[in-house]
Chain A
């Protein structure tokens, strides 16, 4: 009985959570320009999306491209920077370490809008003209802490003697870093990269404040401007559906892999 109630509650919540997404998904298969108006099954919106055959379609495609490119570049740099920073923080002691960890947490606790406004002011202050570069710099700023946080636990889980063992066996510090430390940290770096990548994809506020006036659009800012204009581009519906599916598939794959990994650990 208790179990049934619990299940009902969970599924009710899930139904609520997913209703809008399903709603969009359903209406991505019709041609109507107005949502909620079913004009028969069609995949025209999908083909429009891929061929760019729509009003302002090119800008939607380029927004998607921008989003991916910015996310990729900033995730890559964040991973590099974050790993180095994590190793640095790990080797600090006491007060210094706490201070650095606190600094690292600031961009994460800060709401996007504060990060956005503060970076906007920074770029104004420094006189940097805003565009691609500033958006990427801004994204690196708020993504790096997430990488640091994914790598730090790996560092503290790591047997502290491993690095020393490598030196002991004749590896120079550089060799020890390359042959032992990096391979050990790789899982943390990968999850940091993924986290940074999704953070960057998701971001709206920071991009909004740091993109300047050159008309640079990411998916988020595109949706925002589009929605403010009043008319939602219908092609966004198939795009959302696709993104939804991709995320779903990715998460399922990750989940299955994790479960397998867990099982092999347990079976030992």
Chain B
């Protein structure tokens, strides 16, 4: 476990701070911060990821809430239909979306990128929220009602705060992959818009390992920060998939 989990991460850090001949250097990192192209790509990636996450929450939360509400939805099939896309190869789904856009005559660009990403990642937002809502003890809401809270208040003051863990793990499951994706953005924009993942991939593939590693290292830090903010407990939601 240590060899395959910890060592590779150490290697990323190692390569990030080495030049081509194996000497210690900060140039890879400084290169990133001085290169306006990399920086703007980086900013764009974060922006797209944040937008995507927000849209997913906006669309996904109501859906999860309806699915988890016994009065509004009794069928497990609907739930299953929402979860199913998670099981199909993401590349295939993205490709299908891209083709659909093509045929419908949309220009591939940021709009389609966002739409496609939402489409790809929405189930990953719905599922954990649905799970926490479903597991939530109904007596909290009842207690709030009993204490005189009208339905809207119950929703905002009790249901939403209590479902935050689900939202957080949804955020982790959506934000992280969107920040790092490369194939999806390439498909959806016909390679017009480059995201951060794409430059990592291009650098590694063109044997610029050290710079690639430096970029990966920067991404690793972003991921670390996000998961610390979100609490690293997204394990439960995923573990219960089958």
Residues of A bordering B, CB below 8 Å: 2-3, 6-7, 9-10, 13-14, 16-21, 23-24, 35-36, 85, 102-115, 117-122, 124-125, 137, 140-141, 144, 146, 149-150, 152-153, 191, 194-195, 198, 201-202, 204-205, 208-209, 219-220, 223-224, 227-228, 232, 236, 240, 243-244, 247-248, 251-252, 254-255, 259
Contacts and interface: CB of A to CB of B under 8 A. Distances in A.
A64 B142 CA distance: 52
Contacts, number: 204
A137 B5 CA distance: 12
A109 B123 CA distance: 17
Given A6-B72, A149-B239, A223-B89, 14 more contacts: A6-B69, A13-B82, A16-B119, A36-B99, A109-B223, A111-B176, A112-B180, A113-B219, A118-B12, A204-B89, A205-B182, A208-B201, A220-B91, A240-B92
B102 A36 contact: yes
A96 to B, nearest CB: 13
A149 B96 contact: no
Q: What are the 7 closest A-B residue pairs judged by CB atoms, nearest first?
A: A118-B8, A36-B103, A111-B180, A20-B96, A191-B242, A149-B239, A141-B4
Contacts of A118: 8-9, 11-12, 216
Nearest to A138: B4
Interface centre among B67, B87, B177 (most CB of A within 10 A): B87
B152 interface: no
Contact of A117 (B102, B213, B239): B213
Interface residues of B, number: 78
Contact of A19 (B67, B100, B197): B100
A4 to B, nearest CB: 10
Contacts of B183: 204-205, 208, 224
Nearest to A107: B5
B242 A150 contact: yes
Contacts of A243: 88-89, 92
- Interface secondary structure of B, over-half rule: helix
Interface of B: 1-9, 11-12, 15, 59, 62-63, 66-67, 69, 71-73, 76-78, 80-85, 87-93, 95-100, 102-103, 119, 122-123, 172, 176-177, 179-183, 186-187, 191, 197, 200-201, 204, 209, 212-213, 216, 219-220, 223, 227, 232, 234-235, 238-239, 241-242
23 contacts: A14-B78, A14-B82, A18-B81, A20-B99, A103-B5, A103-B6, A106-B6, A111-B181, A113-B181, A117-B204, A117-B212, A118-B216, A122-B4, A150-B239, A153-B239, A204-B91, A205-B182, A205-B183, A223-B89, A223-B92, A248-B84, A255-B76, A255-B77
Contacts of A2: 72
Nearest to B87: A247
A111 B219 contact: yes
B95 A122 contact: no
A21 B235 contact: no
A251 B93 contact: no
Nearest to A204: B91
B212 to A, nearest CB: 7
B84 A251 contact: yes
A16 B180 CA distance: 24
Contact of A85 (B1, B82, B103, B176): B1
